[in-house]
């Protein structure tokens, strides 16, 4: 299983895509139809609900922000993880986190998004 390709596609073409019509196409390619997205304060099931959740996340971030992987994805036994950062290109990260995906048949069945606590 190619955890790197799937996890990076989720970061780039789902969370990195502000155009909802392009994002839903990507979601349909990499998530199960009844896929589940768990964020710290809510969960969303199904392609449309996942897309709406990502729209809500992105509307709270400046247009200049982008997501990027901090290192290659890793995984085994159907579970993959990817550590990421978000912020203005070329600047310090404003937020960091880790995505943990349960993968079934080459598609994301469940994605857990963990946000790192802010540095104090």
Residue 25 forms part of a structural domain: yes
Domain harbouring 91, CATH code: 3.10.450.50
Q: How many domains in the chain?
A: 1
Residue 60 within a domain:
yes
Count of residues in the chain: 120
Which residues constitute the domain of residue 55? 3-115
Q: What is the pLDDT of residues 38-85, one digit of tens each?
A: 999 999 999 999 999 999 999 999 999 999 999 999 999 999 999 999
Q: Is residue 46 part of a domain?
A: yes
Average pLDDT, the chain: 95
Residue 84 lies in a domain: yes
Q: Does the residue 120 lie in any domain? A: no
Burial code (b: 16+ CB inside 10 Å, e: under 16) for 98-113 equals ebbbbbeeeebebbbb
């Amino acid at each position: 299983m190619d955890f790197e390709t799937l996890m990076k596609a989720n970061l780039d073409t789902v969370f990195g895509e502000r155009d909802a019509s392009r994002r839903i196409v990507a979601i349909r390619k990499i998530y199960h139809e009844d896929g589940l997205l768990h964020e710290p304060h809510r969960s969303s099931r199904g392609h449309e609900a996942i897309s709406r959740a990502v729209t809500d996340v992105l509307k709270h971030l400046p247009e200049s922000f982008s997501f990027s992987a901090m290192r290659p994805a890793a995984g085994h036994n159907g579970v993959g993880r990817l550590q990421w950062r978000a912020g203005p290109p070329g600047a310090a990260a404003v937020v960091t986190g880790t995505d943990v995906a349960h993968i079934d048949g080459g598609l994301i069945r469940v994605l857990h998004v963990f946000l790192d606590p802010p540095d104090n």
